[in-house]
């Protein structure tokens, strides 16, 4: 492996990994490097191939083509039980006929670790995940949160090179899920371990991961830090899946290179307003582009804004969705189509001066629209 | 949901149970008959049970049946469990459909044909017929019942439990003995009980494949009845009903426990 100097070799490397089930292609040529100590998250809708990709690393699926390297060694032909990775299953997969203690010790027993050391390491991990006092219980005597901790302890006690987490928080209720996010993240940082997580929950991915890989129909469409994926989605699919976006189709117009501004003729039903958006380079004039507008970045006025404000549209308030911390306003555009705008409820006064079917104006700063060409 | 007891329900229930169990009840009742005449009630007595203890050939046949039952059930359970694991866990391997068909064929094969074909095989191989040929024959026809019972348990077992074991470093063999087998144990026990009962009951196949010195209990009883029904036979049959009933009860308790066992679908 010829690595550019100054960059450490990745701990995990997927090279053109492809896996099909019959005619269905689950993973289609994925290339990905994950560094030691990184918290990497594969994000995507169900059926996008993220779980299959993780299972190829665990050894439960064999790629049809491509290679997987772990710490520089090719994993081809290495069975699951000899791979130095451990997985936390979505269902937790705790052995129902064994106590919590026996569940955690299971992996160490298989490796022939001496009895005294097993007891020591089990006791240590039990303290780490804070399940003291539950050692003698059976899995069916545990709550969902406790089961999750036992599953975590069982995977961590073997000190794997990589911990794989398959939807680790999906079975927990909302409050517990949010607390556990931070705990997992903190644990990962403290142990300096590499985590590879799979989730369909974008909040979870954003809150925990150092980097996110968004998957779509078996392909890895974008890899980047959470803010990067959110603020500059690479494709329409990413913009639609990660966070909430209103997508507006349009045609590229003239490009002003000096100001890095592009004119876009939007197609909003019958009307076709012209917007000015920030663009680093110009797509071919006349080519189809999409504008992705985040609800929190759109401005909303109940009076016409002053002349000269860019990218203003007149619209009609359709309905108001009160979510507690914010209110989601859906507006109808005159030519058809809807736009979602979110307004932060920073004070306790109810949404003043906004009601359904009233006239309103929305607008966005040229730099706040995402220009998508793919 | 408790259905109401209408007159129709009560009558059909009574007739149904009478049809199924009246002959058995008669047999049990007359086994306690004082009189030597099978159909005439002469007062309560356990003398035929005492007489049974003195009936050497009958006791010997019971002993033969018991040994064949235990041995054949054990072999059938091992083979049947292996077949079930292969069918459920190995996915689509070459010859899977063939194996499925061959495993299930004995379920529907007329016993006369199974018995006759085994007899022809043993004759062709020039094997002395006796204890071992009956045992082998019983293994071959009861194995599929074990497979059915174990298979139904395996398909409902959470596959990720086995994956977790392998992920934690257990070899496939260690995974089977430490995770899979303990979890399907109730079904395996139930399968054993079923195979044992089938072996104990069998007359047709045993008649074809048995030889001198290996007369099973059903064969002995059938032979004696042809010379005339004695109350002694009633007593022997009552004991057999008791044994089979106990085995069936144990079977159903074992499979109920299997159903109640957690760990089939952990989590949400």
Residue A270 CB coordination number (10 Å): 10
Rounded-to-integer distance, Cα A153 and Cα A131, Å: 9
CB pair distance less than 8 Å for B166 and A90 = no
Please give, rounded to a whole number of angstroms, the shortest distance from the CA of B31 to a CA of chain A: 46
Rounded-to-integer distance, Cα A279 and Cα A269, Å: 24
Q: Is A89 on the interface with B (CB under 8 A)?
A: yes
Residues of B in contact with A90 (CB under 8 A): 160, 267
Best mutation target, A52, A88, A97, to test chain B (most B CBs within 10 A): A97
3-class DSSP state of B38? coil
B140 and B105 Cβ atoms separated by less than 8 Å = no
CB pair distance less than 8 Å for A139 and B262 = yes
3-class DSSP state of A17? strand
Determine the distance from the C-alpha atom of residue A324 to the mean position of all C-alpha atoms in its chain, rounded to a whole number. Answer: 24
Residues of B in contact with A95 (CB under 8 A): 161, 164-165, 179, 263
Please give, rounded to a whole number of angstroms, the shortest distance from the CA of B260 to a CA of chain A: 11
Identify the pLDDT of residue A57: 93
pLDDT for residue B20 is more than 80:
yes
The chain B residues in contact with chain A (CB within 8 A) are 158, 160-161, 163-172, 174-175, 178-179, 182-183, 261-263, 265-268
Q: Is A147 on the interface with B (CB under 8 A)?
A: yes
CB pair distance less than 8 Å for A93 and B179 = no
Residue whose entry in the numeric block shows the structure tokens 């928080």: A169
Give the chain B residue whose CA is nearest to the CA of A58: B167
Residue B218 CB coordination number (10 Å): 19
Residues 171-190 of A with CB under 8 A from B: 171
B112 and B204 Cβ atoms separated by less than 8 Å = yes
Express as a percent the part of chain B with pLDDT over 70: 94
CB pair distance less than 8 Å for A147 and B160 = no
Between helix A115-128 and helix A100-110 the angle, nearest 10°, is 130
Which neighbouring-strand residues pair with A319?
Answer: A330
CB pair distance less than 8 Å for A94 and B266 = yes
Identify the pLDDT of residue B266: 36
Give the chain A residue whose CA is nearest to the CA of B181: A97
In this complex, the residue of B169, B263, B267 whose CB is nearest that of residue A111 is B169
Letter string b/e over residues A83-118, b meaning 16 or more CB atoms within 10 A of that residue's CB = bebbbbbbbbbbbbbbbbbbbbbbbbbbeebeeeeb
Structural domains of chain B, ranges and CATH numbers in brackets: 59-260 (1.10.3720.10)
Which neighbouring-strand residues pair with A338?
Answer: A332
Q: Residue A334: which residues within 8 A CB-CB, separation 6 or more? A: A269, A270, A271, A314, A315, A316
Please give, rounded to a whole number of angstroms, the shortest distance from the CA of A346 to a CA of chain B: 36
- H-only helix segments in chain A: 50-58, 100-110, 115-128, 144-156, 174-191, 202-208, 226-231, 236-241
pLDDT in tens, chain A (374 residues): 444 555 567 899 999 999 998 888 899 989 999 999 999 999 998 888 999 999 999 999 999 999 999 988 898 889 999 999 999 999 999 999 999 999 999 999 999 999 999 999 999 999 988 898 999 999 999 998 999 999 999 999 999 999 999 998 888 888 888 888 888 998 898 888 999 999 998 888 998 999 999 999 999 999 999 999 998 888 888 888 888 888 888 888 878 777 778 888 887 766 677 788 888 777 777 788 888 888 888 888 888 888 778 888 888 888 888 888 888 888 888 777 788 888 888 777 665 667 888 888 888 888 888 888 87
Q: Is A168 on the interface with B (CB under 8 A)?
A: no
DSSP symbols for A186-215? HHHHHHT-EEEEEES-HHHHHHH-SEEEEE
Q: Is the dihedral of CA B215, B221, B222, B227 positive or negative?
A: positive
Structural domains of chain A, ranges and CATH numbers in brackets: 12-238 (3.40.50.300), 244-372 (2.40.50.140)
Please give, rounded to a whole number of angstroms, the shortest distance from the CA of B169 to a CA of chain A: 4
Report DSSP state, residue B127. P
CB pair distance less than 8 Å for A147 and B266 = yes
Rounded-to-integer distance, Cα B176 and Cα A145, Å: 28
In this complex, the residue of A80, A155, A170 whose CB is nearest that of residue B268 is A170
Which neighbouring-strand residues pair with A24?
Answer: A21
Residues of A in contact with B263 (CB under 8 A): 94-97, 139-140
Please give, rounded to a whole number of angstroms, the shortest distance from the CA of A85 to a CA of chain B: 8
Please give, rounded to a whole number of angstroms, the shortest distance from the CA of A9 to a CA of chain B: 25
pLDDT for residue B175 is more than 90:
yes
CB pair distance less than 8 Å for A91 and B158 = yes
CB pair distance less than 8 Å for A80 and B163 = yes
A60 and B168 Cβ atoms separated by less than 8 Å = no
Rounded-to-integer distance, Cα B43 and Cα B45, Å: 7
Query: How many residues appear in chain A?
Result: 374
Phi-psi label, residue B193: left if phi above 0, alpha if psi -120 to 50, beta otherwise: alpha
Q: B241 exposed, middle or buried (CB, 10 Å; 0-12, 13-18, 19+)?
A: middle
A117 and A86 Cβ atoms separated by less than 8 Å = no
Best mutation target, B160, B161, B165, B167, to test chain A (most A CBs within 10 A): B167
pLDDT for residue B148 is more than 70:
yes
Tens-digit pLDDT profile for residues A135-149: 999 999 999 899 999
Identify the pLDDT of residue B267: 35
Residues of B in contact with A60 (CB under 8 A): 163, 167
**What is the arithmetic mean of pLDDT over B186-206?**
90
Which neighbouring-strand residues pair with A30?
Answer: A17
CB pair distance less than 8 Å for B263 and A95 = yes
Express as a percent the part of chain B with pLDDT over 90: 31
Q: Is A170 on the interface with B (CB under 8 A)?
A: yes
């Amino acid at each position: 492996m010829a690595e550019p100097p100054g960059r450490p070799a990745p701990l995990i490397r997927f090279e053109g990994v492809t896996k099909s089930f019959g005619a269905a292609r689950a993973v289609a040529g994925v290339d990905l490097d994950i560094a030691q100590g990184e918290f990497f998250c594969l994000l995507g809708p169900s059926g996008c191939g993220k779980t299959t990709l993780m299972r190829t690393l665990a050894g439960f699926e064999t790629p049809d083509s491509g290679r997987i390297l772990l710490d520089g060694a090719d994993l081809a032909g290495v069975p699951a039980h000899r791979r130095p990775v451990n997985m936390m299953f979505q269902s937790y997969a705790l052995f129902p006929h064994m106590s919590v203690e026996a569940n955690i010790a299971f992996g160490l027993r298989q490796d022939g670790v001496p009895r005294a050391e097993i007891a020591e390491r089990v006791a240590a991990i039990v303290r780490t995940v804070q399940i003291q006092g539950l050692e003698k219980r059976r899995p069916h005597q545990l709550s969902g949160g406790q089961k999750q901790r036992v599953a975590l302890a069982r995977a961590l006690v073997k000190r794997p090179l990589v911990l794989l987490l398959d939807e680790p928080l999906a079975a927990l209720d909302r409050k517990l899920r949010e607390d556990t996010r931070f705990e997992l993240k903190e644990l990962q940082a403290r142990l300096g371990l590499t985590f590879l997580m799979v989730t369909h929950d974008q909040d979870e991915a954003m809150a925990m991961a150092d980097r996110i890989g968004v998957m779509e129909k078996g392909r890895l469409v974008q890899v980047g830090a959470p803010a990067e994926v959110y603020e500059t989605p690479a494709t329409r699919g990413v913009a639609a899946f990660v966070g909430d976006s209103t997508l507006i189709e349009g045609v590229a117009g003239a490009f002003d290179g000096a100001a890095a501004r592009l004119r876009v003729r939007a197609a909003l039903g019958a009307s076709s307003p012209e917007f000015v958006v920030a663009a680093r380079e110009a797509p071919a004039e006349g080519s189809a582009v999409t504008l992705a507008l985040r609800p929190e970045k759109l401005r909303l006025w109940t009076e016409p804004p002053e002349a000269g404000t860019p990218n203003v549209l007149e619209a009609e308030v359709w309905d108001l969705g009160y979510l507690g911390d914010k209110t989601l306003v859906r507006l109808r555009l005159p030519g058809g189509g809807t736009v979602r705008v979110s307004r932060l409820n920073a004070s306790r006064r109810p949404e003043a001066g906004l009601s359904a079917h009233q006239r309103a104006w929305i607008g966005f700063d040229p730099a706040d629209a995402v220009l998508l060409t793919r | 949901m408790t259905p109401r007891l209408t007159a129709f329900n009560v009558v059909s229930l009574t007739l149904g149970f009478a049809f199924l169990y009246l002959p058995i009840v008669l047999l049990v009742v007359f086994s306690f008959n004082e009189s030597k005449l099978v159909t005439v009630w002469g007062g309560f007595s356990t003398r035929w049970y005492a007489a049974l203890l003195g009936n050497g050939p009958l006791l010997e046949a019971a002993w033969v049946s018991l040994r064949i039952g235990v041995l054949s059930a054990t072999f059938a359970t091992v083979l049947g469990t292996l077949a079930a694991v292969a069918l459920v866990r190995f996915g689509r391997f070459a010859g899977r459909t063939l194996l499925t068909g061959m495993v299930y064929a004995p379920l529907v094969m007329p016993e006369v044909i199974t018995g006759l074909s085994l007899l022809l095989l043993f004759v062709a191989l020039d094997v002395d017929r006796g204890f071992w040929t009956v045992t082998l024959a019983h293994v071959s026809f009861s194995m599929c019942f074990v497979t059915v019972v174990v298979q139904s348990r395996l398909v409902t077992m959470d596959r990720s439990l086995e994956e977790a074991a392998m992920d934690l470093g257990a070899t496939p063999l260690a995974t089977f003995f430490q995770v899979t087998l303990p979890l399907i144990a109730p079904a395996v026990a139930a399968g054993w009980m079923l195979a044992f009962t089938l072996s104990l009951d069998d007359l047709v196949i045993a008649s074809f494949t048995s030889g001198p010195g290996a007369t099973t209990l059903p064969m002995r009883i059938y032979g004696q009845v042809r010379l005339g029904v004695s109350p002694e036979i009633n007593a022997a049959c009552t004991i057999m009903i008791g044994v089979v009933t106990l085995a069936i009860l144990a079977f159903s308790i074992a499979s109920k426990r299997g159903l109640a066992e957690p760990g089939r679908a952990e989590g949400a």
